[in-house]
Amino acid sequence: MVMLQLDGVSVTLGRRSVLNGIDARFSPGALVGIVGPNGAGKSTLARAMLGLVPAKGDIRFDGHAVATLRRDALARRVAYLPQGQTLHWPLTVERLVGLGRLPHLGPMSRIRGEDAAAIERAMARADVLDLRDRIATELSGGERARVLLARALAVEAPALVADEPLASLDPGHQIDVMDLLRSEAQGGTLVIAVLHDLTMAWSANHVLADLRREMFDRLLRLPDGYFKRMGSSVLLNRFVVDATNVMQLATEVITVLVRETLIVISLACVLFYLSWKLTLIALVAFPLSTFIMRAIARRIRRINRETITMNGELTRVVSEAIDGQRVIKLFSGYAHEEERFLHINGRLRRFAMRNTVAGAASAPITQAIAAVALAVVVSTALGQSGANQITVGGFAAFVTAMLQMLDPLKRLANVASPMQRMLVSAESVFALVDEEPERDDGVRQLPRPARGHIEFERVSHRFPDAGRDTLEQISFTVEPGQTVAFIGRSGSGKTTLVSMLPRFALPTAGSIRVDGIPIDELTLTSLRDAISLVSQDVVLFDDTIAANVSYGANTAPSEAAIRQALADA
């Protein structure tokens, strides 16, 4: 099924041919990116699809020629997000989004029923629900861009044409908008987007997904001791905060570094061409500027490391408050928990201010050094001019090129703070990815079905950094069919003893055998397939009871088997 059809579409503006003989077919649910350099006619093609510019050829939506459709009829078929549209009306965001669906909505009109629900859905998808009561003219550039996108989504038309939907958005929101457009396409909407930054946003989105997949794959294969050492709050922050920071900041940092570095190198070549002597004088300031920037970068990196640690602590405190909310209420622990939270929240605020101050100091320092270098160059050039070593035109060209370097140098200095945040987040993420997985050196398979003969022979265990053994010289045998209970006081090592059988914990001395085979010679899969475990830590996955009962079964059990297991329990 073809929703949009273009046959021989050509557009001429003035005497210049912008588009020539464009043919295309687009189906419902397609996500189409129109990319190209400035002036290539991308926006012109988008407007031609909507009949906003005169075009030769044939353009049809659902078999209807655009040229013959009334404006309101076309608006019901395709929503449009124009490029560079500004907000001049002092309306609330909710009213402005409502105009996308109700063009004649009055300032005092009430929005009811399905229209209200559609506007609510559009604001939620564009992430502007929290802005609904704000005045549109008071929003930032990025917020305005998302509000305009919500207004287009409120139409809920079968097609959406978005002209530069990523403009004015930071890299993080660019990824969010790309996800939203893909989601709209997966829902059956034909999405046509004019994009300059498609490659960067799309690549960052996929790299983030691949990075998280690799992190999760490694997480599942880490040894039990790693989770006890790190804590769930730190690991959650690596997935939710650090991985996102790496991609969002990398998109921003790489773009600025590549663009501004090329500009600085090009201008430096021009300066050498105009006067190599003056250029060498100007470059004397470079080592001093580099030394200061390295010092600032080290401070920013140290602050960001501490911030990551505090973010983990904040997650831990909030998680404990949620899990232990009954205990807090029962023992009136409100003041204590609020004090813990305020302490960590205050430290995060102080770290953020230190990071802001350090980052803001880089650009003025760099520009001050550049200004001093410029003054030295000017005074030197005046002396050369008196000695007829440089012409007035050459001097003017040199100063002009040097002044043009100030803005790129300022932007390179300003990127120091986000670059350090990116590097620290990358350290956190790749520390997880590079962590050694659980040892699985065994090569033997446990015969199935296993008999269940278990032997512990002079087994000892000591936790890392502990001063004495938790278990010492433990020996016993469990025969098939025998029931054994381990009884003792808390902390005596009962759980540790049992954990060594599936190799969650490793003995520091002695050996453990199952059916006469040392467990370190068995593959982990073979060993653990023969063991069922009811842990003291009750864990139920977010699924049905039947799915939890059958979790880990090699073959899907029948409903009767699941019911029998529930009855036996």
pLDDT score recorded for residue 180: 80
Residue 500 in contact with residue 494, Cβ under 8 Å?
no
Per-residue pLDDT for 236 more than 60?
Answer: yes
Per-residue pLDDT for 347 more than 60?
Answer: yes
Residue 425 in contact with residue 309, Cβ under 8 Å?
no
pLDDT in tens, 529-548: 888 888 777 777 777 888 87
Strand runs labelled E in 55-184: 56-61, 64-65, 78-81, 159-163
pLDDT score recorded for residue 78: 85
Taking residues 463-471, report their average pLDDT. Answer: 83
Taking residues 447-460, report their average pLDDT. Answer: 89
Tokens linked to 484: 């054994």
CA distance 182 to 31: 7
pLDDT in tens, 388-405: 667 777 778 888 888 788
| Entry pTM | 0.60
pLDDT score recorded for residue 65: 87
Query: Mean pLDDT of all residues in the chain?
Result: 82
CA distance 448 to 444: 12
pLDDT score recorded for residue 513: 92
Residue 474 in contact with residue 499, Cβ under 8 Å?
no
Taking residues 381-386, report their average pLDDT. Answer: 71
Peptide linkage before 449 cis (omega within 30 of 0): yes
**Amino acid residing at 130:** D
pLDDT score recorded for residue 199: 55
pLDDT in tens, 251-269: 778 778 888 888 888 888 8
Taking residues 117-126, report their average pLDDT. Answer: 85
> Directed axis angle between helix 406-414 and helix 416-433, to 10°?
40
Residue 32 in contact with residue 4, Cβ under 8 Å?
no
Per-residue pLDDT for 452 more than 80?
Answer: yes
Least confident of 37-51, 209-223, 426-440: 37-51
CA distance 28 to 87: 31
CA distance 521 to 523: 7
CA distance 149 to 157: 13
pLDDT score recorded for residue 477: 92
Q: Three-state DSSP class for 463?
A: coil
CA distance 168 to 183: 21
pLDDT in tens, 314-342: 888 888 888 888 888 888 888 888 998 99
